[in-house]
Structure 1
Amino acid sequence: METYGTDVLGIADELTTAYVEVFTAPPWEHRDPEETRTAFRKRLEDDAHRDGFRAWIERSDDGRISGFLTGWTTPGPFRTDRSYGDVLDRLGPAQVDALLVGAFEIDELGVLQYARGTGLGRRLLELATAEHPRAWLLTWNQAHNTIAFYRQVGWQEPAPEGPSHNILVFLAPNHPGAPTD
């Protein structure tokens, strides 16, 4: 497993190719590959400079990227662009401040098709949360297999305070604010 900070930009083309392969396949097949490539590459250029940015990359025996995880420390005040406004609306300002601001935000987790079922997604999450137990992520509510995977590996949803949206928020198993059963 390789770990990166801003030096991830040295493999940006390769990581972007892997990202497009994951996030234009089901259930994201409605996404245009070139638009997805352009948008991710631009975001990566900015994200790599965020406070606390980290990336974990796993490679296959032939050197190709098999899986990746990127994230950073969630800044305050909490953003409202992209899906963040929906998160704020769903959880409410108090929960967002208590659970997400200052926590490690897992932005992207992807495992390429040939590496699925190997435990790689779990290992990537475990590496990130070993370093940052107070972690969170969000996913699309139509990514049913992804949602089932997060629940299977112990990630939990905080109690909603607002209306449903097309995203779900999950807290790491060791997040101090994670619900207890």
Structure 2
Amino acid sequence: MTGTVHRVPGPDLLTHRDGIRQVYATAFAQPPWHSRPAHADDYLERLAGDTGRPGFTGAVALDGDQVVGFATAWTTETPLPATRSYPHVSAALGAERTAAWLCGGLEVDELAVAPGAHGRGLGRALLDEVTRDAPGGRCWLLTSVKAEATVRFYERLGWHQATRPAPNGYGTAVFLGPHHPARSAVLPPAPGA
């Protein structure tokens, strides 16, 4: 692996804000995200508040002094909030599974590696760094099923898609981490899916 991954506590992650902004802008510019540079600015504003969340952890991948990747995670609120994509998640999993599988677990919010740094193992290392302390292995994330390479990446690392099809055709699916105790309860994809 070329580059090093460092765990960065809470607000200290913001010392890397310019590099994180650049990675966010380039990593999410392509389909299916179609992110514009202004979205990277919006993300940095959100990140400033997110660093104060319970259980927040962050990690950066550095090539020398240059940020080439980052990841963030935090403890999922109980009950699951009614903001962002969470209502779709709750509808797809149902209240009981949402509470048992997600609430109180570690939610990976963002994982991004600059396109020029792909293939170095940095995505895996970042993901491992922010999920290593997941309570009882209970970590999860949301991603777009339209991001086929991203979905394959998580599957190669042992993550299991828990919502099939993606909630309400929204295109976002829940993935449970490789040590999540509920992963054995996840239904396999339908034949031909």
1:154 corresponds to which of 155, 158, 166 = 158
Q: Per the alignment, do residues 159 and 14 of structure 1 end up closer, same or farther by CA in structure 2, a change over 3 Å counting?
A: closer
Determine helix, strand or coil for the equivalent of 1:137.
Answer: strand
How far residue 44 of structure 1 moved from its aligned partner, in angstroms, is 0.4
Map 1:68-147 → 2, pairs under 5 A: 68-132=70-134, 133-147=137-151
% identity of equivalent residues: 36
How far residue 160 of structure 1 moved from its aligned partner, in angstroms, is 5.2
How far residue 72 of structure 1 moved from its aligned partner, in angstroms, is 0.4
Letter in 1 for 2:162: P
2:179 corresponds to which of 174, 177, 180 = 174
Checking the alignment, whether the CA contact within 8 Å between 1:12 and 1:44 is kept in structure 2 is no
Q: Which moved more, 1:153-162 or 1:44-53?
A: 153-162
In structure 2, distance between residues paired with 1:54 and 1:146? 21
1:17 corresponds to which of 14, 22, 25 = 22
How far residue 172 of structure 1 moved from its aligned partner, in angstroms, is 0.5
Provide the residue aligned with 1:59 in structure 2: 62
In structure 1, distance between residues paired with 2:31 and 2:171? 17
Q: Deviations over 1:4-42 (max 9, x none)?
A: 2221122223212221121113332x33222x1232011
Checking the alignment, whether the CA contact within 8 Å between 1:140 and 1:167 is kept in structure 2 is yes
In structure 1, distance between residues paired with 2:52 and 2:93? 27
In structure 1, distance between residues paired with 2:120 and 2:16? 24
Q: CA RMSD in A?
A: 1.9
Q: Which moved more, 1:161-170 or 1:151-160?
A: 161-170
Provide the residue aligned with 1:37 in structure 2: 40
How far residue 131 of structure 1 moved from its aligned partner, in angstroms, is 1.9
Aligned length: 178
Letter in 2 for 1:139: T
In structure 2, distance between residues paired with 1:13 and 1:115? 17
In structure 1, distance between residues paired with 2:168 and 2:24? 30
Letter in 2 for 1:138: L
In structure 1, distance between residues paired with 2:28 and 2:37? 8
Provide the residue aligned with 2:11 in structure 1: 6
Letter in 2 for 1:15: I
Determine helix, strand or coil for the equivalent of 2:178.
Answer: coil
In structure 2, distance between residues paired with 1:121 and 1:179? 25
In structure 1, distance between residues paired with 2:61 and 2:96? 36
| Structure 2 portions without partners, runs of 5+ | 189-193
In structure 2, distance between residues paired with 1:99 and 1:43? 25
| Structure 1 portions without partners, runs of 5+ | none
